[in-house]
């Protein structure tokens, strides 16, 4: 994925209260009885997608960049099909921002994606290495 990758969005129908294609209700999730294997996918051919990598920004700009990502993370985590979504400061490199997303399908990724990073965020990025991975199997 190029440095001009689109912003990340995500969610899962089961996350806070069930929904289409989900046999887990919100009470079950909040009570801790939900597991990834409890989700029924309506399309067995769809694979889980992981988006992972990192961005590089000037170390003095990292906190400002991350602050600008708060609304993207909030939107992503409330979007249908998102299993996990994080944009975080790297613990070792002061100019690195780590990206991790887990989606229930490619369709969910595409539904969430918008027009791309803002002009300001794009200008702040020095480099990026982010890729999408199709997950064929999941083990506990």
| Domain limits, the chain | 26-42+52-135
Q: Which residues are within 8 A (CB) of 127 and not within 5 positions of it... i.e. 6 or more apart?
A: 3, 55, 56
Domain 26-42+52-135: state its class: alpha beta
pTM higher than 0.85 for the full model? no
Contact 135, 50 (CB under 8 A): yes
pLDDT for 122: 66
What residues of the chain score a pLDDT lower than 70?
Answer: 1-45, 114-122
pLDDT for 118: 59
pLDDT for 113: 85
pLDDT for 31: 41
pLDDT for 34: 37
Secondary structure class of 110 (helix, strand, coil): helix
């Amino acid at each position: 994925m190029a440095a001009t990758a689109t912003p990340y969005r995500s969610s899962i129908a089961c996350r806070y209260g069930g929904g289409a294609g989900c046999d887990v209700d919100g009470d079950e999730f909040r009570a801790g009885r939900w597991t990834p294997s409890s989700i029924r996918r309506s399309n067995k051919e769809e694979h889980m997608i992981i988006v992972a990598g990192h961005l590089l920004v000037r170390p003095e700009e990292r906190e400002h960049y991350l602050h600008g990502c708060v609304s993207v993370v909030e939107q992503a985590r409330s979007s249908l099909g998102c299993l996990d979504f994080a944009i975080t400061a790297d613990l070792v490199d002061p100019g690195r921002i780590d990206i991790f997303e887990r989606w229930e399908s490619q369709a969910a990724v595409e539904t969430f994606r918008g027009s791309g990073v803002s002009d300001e965020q794009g200008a702040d990025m020095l480099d990026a290495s982010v890729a999408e991975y199709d997950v064929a199997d999941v083990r506990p």
